[in-house]
Amino acid sequence: MSKEDTEDTGDALQVEMRGHVMWLTIQREARRNAINGEVLAGLRQALACAGADPDVRAIVLTGAGTRAFCAGADLQSGASFRFDYSQPHQQLADLFREARRCTVPLVARVNGACMAGGMGLLAMCDLAVASRHAVFGLPEVKVGVFPAQVLAVLQHQLPRRVLNELCLMGEPIDAERALSIGLVNQLAEPDALDATLDAFLSRLLDKSPSAIRRGLYTLKHTEHLGFEDAVAFTESQIGLFALTDDAQEGQAAFREKRAPNWTGR
Protein backbone atom coordinates (compact mmCIF):
# COMPACT_ATOMS: atom_id res chain seq x y z
CA MET A 1 0.00 0.00 0.00
CA SER A 2 1.47 3.37 -0.99
CA LYS A 3 1.67 6.41 1.24
CA GLU A 4 -1.77 7.84 0.50
CA ASP A 5 -3.67 4.73 -0.59
CA THR A 6 -7.19 4.05 0.58
CA GLU A 7 -8.62 0.54 0.68
CA ASP A 8 -12.15 -0.59 1.49
CA THR A 9 -12.20 -3.97 3.21
CA GLY A 10 -15.83 -4.54 2.30
CA ASP A 11 -18.22 -1.74 3.22
CA ALA A 12 -17.66 -1.74 6.97
CA LEU A 13 -14.02 -0.72 7.36
CA GLN A 14 -11.86 1.78 5.52
CA VAL A 15 -8.09 1.34 5.58
CA GLU A 16 -6.13 4.43 4.56
CA MET A 17 -2.44 5.36 4.64
CA ARG A 18 -1.67 8.95 5.60
CA GLY A 19 2.07 9.21 5.37
CA HIS A 20 3.46 6.66 7.81
CA VAL A 21 0.14 6.31 9.68
CA MET A 22 -2.44 3.65 8.87
CA TRP A 23 -5.98 4.90 9.56
CA LEU A 24 -8.68 2.31 10.30
CA THR A 25 -12.18 3.78 10.23
CA ILE A 26 -15.28 1.75 11.06
CA GLN A 27 -17.84 2.81 8.43
CA ARG A 28 -21.15 1.91 10.09
CA GLU A 29 -22.27 5.34 11.21
CA ALA A 30 -25.99 4.51 10.98
CA ARG A 31 -25.40 1.71 13.51
CA ARG A 32 -23.15 3.87 15.70
CA ASN A 33 -20.17 1.99 14.26
CA ALA A 34 -21.25 -1.24 15.92
CA ILE A 35 -19.05 -4.29 15.49
CA ASN A 36 -19.94 -7.07 13.08
CA GLY A 37 -17.97 -9.94 11.58
CA GLU A 38 -16.81 -7.84 8.65
CA VAL A 39 -15.39 -5.16 10.95
CA LEU A 40 -13.58 -7.70 13.13
CA ALA A 41 -12.08 -9.56 10.17
CA GLY A 42 -11.01 -6.31 8.51
CA LEU A 43 -9.37 -4.97 11.67
CA ARG A 44 -7.50 -8.20 12.27
CA GLN A 45 -6.21 -8.31 8.69
CA ALA A 46 -5.15 -4.65 8.80
CA LEU A 47 -3.22 -5.08 12.05
CA ALA A 48 -1.40 -8.11 10.66
CA CYS A 49 -0.46 -6.17 7.51
CA ALA A 50 0.71 -3.16 9.55
CA GLY A 51 2.86 -5.34 11.76
CA ALA A 52 4.61 -6.80 8.71
CA ASP A 53 5.19 -3.43 7.01
CA PRO A 54 8.19 -1.45 8.32
CA ASP A 55 6.85 1.67 6.62
CA VAL A 56 3.83 1.79 8.98
CA ARG A 57 4.88 3.65 12.12
CA ALA A 58 1.52 4.17 13.83
CA ILE A 59 -2.08 3.01 13.48
CA VAL A 60 -5.15 5.15 14.25
CA LEU A 61 -8.45 3.40 15.01
CA THR A 62 -11.67 5.44 14.89
CA GLY A 63 -15.30 5.46 13.84
CA ALA A 64 -17.06 7.39 11.09
CA GLY A 65 -18.93 10.57 11.99
CA THR A 66 -19.06 12.29 15.36
CA ARG A 67 -21.65 10.31 17.35
CA ALA A 68 -19.77 7.10 18.10
CA PHE A 69 -16.33 5.56 18.18
CA CYS A 70 -17.93 2.13 18.51
CA ALA A 71 -21.16 1.16 20.26
CA GLY A 72 -20.13 -2.47 20.71
CA ALA A 73 -21.96 -5.47 19.28
CA ASP A 74 -24.71 -4.82 16.74
CA LEU A 75 -27.75 -5.76 18.81
CA GLN A 76 -30.09 -4.91 15.93
CA SER A 77 -28.85 -7.95 14.03
CA GLY A 78 -30.24 -10.33 16.66
CA ALA A 79 -27.15 -12.53 16.27
CA SER A 80 -24.57 -10.61 18.29
CA PHE A 81 -23.91 -13.30 20.90
CA ARG A 82 -24.46 -16.37 18.76
CA PHE A 83 -21.13 -18.09 18.26
CA ASP A 84 -20.00 -21.22 16.51
CA TYR A 85 -18.91 -23.19 19.53
CA SER A 86 -17.31 -25.85 17.34
CA GLN A 87 -14.54 -23.26 16.91
CA PRO A 88 -12.17 -22.81 19.88
CA HIS A 89 -11.51 -19.14 19.06
CA GLN A 90 -13.98 -16.30 18.46
CA GLN A 91 -13.46 -13.27 16.20
CA LEU A 92 -13.21 -10.58 18.88
CA ALA A 93 -10.78 -12.66 20.92
CA ASP A 94 -8.66 -13.27 17.80
CA LEU A 95 -8.61 -9.51 17.14
CA PHE A 96 -7.34 -8.92 20.68
CA ARG A 97 -4.66 -11.57 20.09
CA GLU A 98 -3.58 -9.83 16.88
CA ALA A 99 -3.42 -6.47 18.64
CA ARG A 100 -1.32 -8.04 21.38
CA ARG A 101 1.16 -9.32 18.78
CA CYS A 102 1.31 -6.00 16.94
CA THR A 103 4.43 -3.90 17.60
CA VAL A 104 3.17 -0.79 15.81
CA PRO A 105 1.67 1.75 18.27
CA LEU A 106 -2.11 1.58 18.04
CA VAL A 107 -3.84 4.89 18.85
CA ALA A 108 -7.58 5.17 19.49
CA ARG A 109 -9.26 8.33 18.18
CA VAL A 110 -12.40 8.33 20.33
CA ASN A 111 -14.77 10.63 18.48
CA GLY A 112 -17.97 9.78 20.34
CA ALA A 113 -19.66 7.03 22.34
CA CYS A 114 -17.36 4.15 23.28
CA MET A 115 -19.50 1.39 24.71
CA ALA A 116 -19.38 -2.36 25.39
CA GLY A 117 -17.18 -4.02 22.74
CA GLY A 118 -16.04 -0.54 21.75
CA MET A 119 -14.34 -0.41 25.15
CA GLY A 120 -12.50 -3.55 24.11
CA LEU A 121 -11.28 -1.85 20.93
CA LEU A 122 -10.17 1.13 23.02
CA ALA A 123 -8.42 -1.06 25.58
CA MET A 124 -6.52 -3.06 22.97
CA CYS A 125 -4.97 0.22 21.79
CA ASP A 126 -1.70 1.43 23.29
CA LEU A 127 -2.69 5.11 23.44
CA ALA A 128 -5.91 7.11 23.16
CA VAL A 129 -7.06 10.64 22.38
CA ALA A 130 -10.74 11.41 22.98
CA SER A 131 -13.25 14.13 22.29
CA ARG A 132 -14.58 15.85 25.40
CA HIS A 133 -18.10 14.85 24.35
CA ALA A 134 -17.22 11.13 24.29
CA VAL A 135 -18.87 8.79 26.79
CA PHE A 136 -17.62 5.40 27.92
CA GLY A 137 -19.33 2.39 29.42
CA LEU A 138 -19.93 -1.33 29.76
CA PRO A 139 -23.74 -1.62 29.64
CA GLU A 140 -23.92 -5.36 28.91
CA VAL A 141 -25.67 -6.18 32.22
CA LYS A 142 -28.61 -4.09 30.99
CA VAL A 143 -29.26 -6.64 28.22
CA GLY A 144 -28.53 -9.73 30.29
CA VAL A 145 -24.93 -10.42 29.30
CA PHE A 146 -21.49 -9.41 30.58
CA PRO A 147 -18.34 -7.79 29.08
CA ALA A 148 -16.40 -11.04 29.50
CA GLN A 149 -13.99 -10.85 26.56
CA VAL A 150 -13.39 -7.14 27.12
CA LEU A 151 -11.96 -7.95 30.56
CA ALA A 152 -8.96 -9.61 28.92
CA VAL A 153 -7.73 -6.26 27.59
CA LEU A 154 -9.32 -3.85 30.07
CA GLN A 155 -8.77 -5.34 33.52
CA HIS A 156 -5.13 -4.29 33.87
CA GLN A 157 -5.79 -0.72 32.73
CA LEU A 158 -8.25 0.31 35.44
CA PRO A 159 -8.39 0.25 39.25
CA ARG A 160 -10.37 -2.83 40.29
CA ARG A 161 -13.21 -0.97 41.99
CA VAL A 162 -13.68 1.26 38.94
CA LEU A 163 -13.77 -1.82 36.71
CA ASN A 164 -16.26 -3.50 39.04
CA GLU A 165 -18.48 -0.41 38.95
CA LEU A 166 -18.45 -0.23 35.16
CA CYS A 167 -19.16 -3.94 34.74
CA LEU A 168 -21.73 -4.45 37.50
CA MET A 169 -23.70 -1.21 37.24
CA GLY A 170 -23.51 -0.69 33.51
CA GLU A 171 -23.64 3.10 33.80
CA PRO A 172 -21.61 5.37 31.49
CA ILE A 173 -18.85 7.76 32.51
CA ASP A 174 -17.88 11.01 30.84
CA ALA A 175 -14.59 11.89 29.17
CA GLU A 176 -13.21 13.78 32.16
CA ARG A 177 -13.56 10.74 34.38
CA ALA A 178 -12.13 8.52 31.63
CA LEU A 179 -9.05 10.74 31.64
CA SER A 180 -8.79 10.75 35.44
CA ILE A 181 -8.79 6.92 35.65
CA GLY A 182 -6.25 6.52 32.85
CA LEU A 183 -8.59 5.15 30.21
CA VAL A 184 -7.40 7.81 27.73
CA ASN A 185 -4.22 9.89 27.46
CA GLN A 186 -5.60 13.23 26.29
CA LEU A 187 -8.87 15.06 25.68
CA ALA A 188 -9.71 17.53 22.93
CA GLU A 189 -12.59 19.81 22.09
CA PRO A 190 -14.73 18.13 19.41
CA ASP A 191 -13.67 20.58 16.69
CA ALA A 192 -10.01 20.22 17.64
CA LEU A 193 -9.85 16.43 17.87
CA ASP A 194 -7.86 15.92 14.67
CA ALA A 195 -5.44 18.76 15.40
CA THR A 196 -4.85 17.34 18.88
CA LEU A 197 -4.37 13.86 17.46
CA ASP A 198 -1.90 15.14 14.84
CA ALA A 199 0.17 16.81 17.56
CA PHE A 200 -0.01 13.63 19.64
CA LEU A 201 1.13 11.48 16.69
CA SER A 202 4.00 13.86 15.94
CA ARG A 203 5.46 12.95 19.33
CA LEU A 204 5.62 9.33 18.14
CA LEU A 205 6.71 9.84 14.55
CA ASP A 206 9.89 11.78 15.34
CA LYS A 207 11.24 8.93 17.48
CA SER A 208 13.20 5.83 16.42
CA PRO A 209 10.84 3.37 14.69
CA SER A 210 13.02 0.41 15.66
CA ALA A 211 13.17 1.47 19.31
CA ILE A 212 9.38 1.90 19.40
CA ARG A 213 8.64 -1.47 17.78
CA ARG A 214 11.09 -3.41 19.95
CA GLY A 215 10.12 -1.31 22.96
CA LEU A 216 6.42 -2.08 22.52
CA TYR A 217 7.32 -5.76 22.21
CA THR A 218 9.23 -5.48 25.51
CA LEU A 219 6.43 -3.62 27.27
CA LYS A 220 3.85 -6.22 26.26
CA HIS A 221 6.02 -9.16 27.26
CA THR A 222 6.88 -7.82 30.70
CA GLU A 223 3.41 -6.61 31.69
CA HIS A 224 2.39 -9.76 33.55
CA LEU A 225 5.82 -11.04 34.63
CA GLY A 226 7.07 -11.09 38.19
CA PHE A 227 10.24 -9.19 39.02
CA GLU A 228 12.75 -12.00 38.45
CA ASP A 229 11.24 -13.03 35.11
CA ALA A 230 10.88 -9.41 34.00
CA VAL A 231 14.45 -8.44 34.84
CA ALA A 232 15.80 -11.58 33.16
CA PHE A 233 13.81 -10.84 30.00
CA THR A 234 14.79 -7.17 29.89
CA GLU A 235 18.48 -7.81 30.47
CA SER A 236 18.38 -10.05 27.40
CA GLN A 237 16.66 -7.29 25.40
CA ILE A 238 18.75 -4.22 26.20
CA GLY A 239 21.75 -5.43 24.22
CA LEU A 240 19.54 -6.02 21.19
CA PHE A 241 18.32 -2.41 21.26
CA ALA A 242 21.93 -1.23 21.12
CA LEU A 243 22.67 -3.36 18.04
CA THR A 244 20.16 -1.57 15.81
CA ASP A 245 21.16 1.03 13.21
CA ASP A 246 18.80 3.49 14.87
CA ALA A 247 20.65 3.13 18.19
CA GLN A 248 23.96 3.91 16.50
CA GLU A 249 22.43 6.86 14.64
CA GLY A 250 20.67 8.21 17.73
CA GLN A 251 23.82 8.21 19.82
CA ALA A 252 25.87 9.74 16.99
CA ALA A 253 23.27 12.48 16.55
CA PHE A 254 23.35 13.17 20.29
CA ARG A 255 27.15 13.54 20.26
CA GLU A 256 27.06 15.70 17.11
CA LYS A 257 24.17 17.85 18.40
CA ARG A 258 21.96 17.26 15.35
CA ALA A 259 18.59 15.71 14.59
CA PRO A 260 18.79 11.93 13.99
CA ASN A 261 18.05 10.42 10.60
CA TRP A 262 16.08 7.31 11.49
CA THR A 263 16.00 4.33 9.13
CA GLY A 264 13.89 2.08 11.35
CA ARG A 265 16.51 -0.67 11.25
List active site positions: 140
Would you tell me how many other CB atoms lie within 10 Å of the CB of residue 238? 9
C-beta separation of 203 from 173 below 8 A: no
Please count the residues of the chain.
265
Rounded Cα distance between 187 and 196, Å, is 8
The rounded radius of gyration (Å) of the Cα atoms in the chain is 19
Per DSSP, what are the bridge partners of residue 6? 16
SS3 257: coil
CA-based torsion, 115, 100, 79, 108: positive or negative: positive
| Residue 190 DSSP one-character state | G
Sheet holding 113-115, edge to edge: 68-70, 113-115, 135-137, 173-174
Count CA atoms closer than 13 A to 67's CA, side-chain side. Answer: 9
C-beta separation of 35 from 73 below 8 A: yes
Rounded Cα distance between 108 and 127, Å, is 6
Rounded Cα distance between 219 and 225, Å, is 10
Per DSSP, what are the bridge partners of residue 7? 15
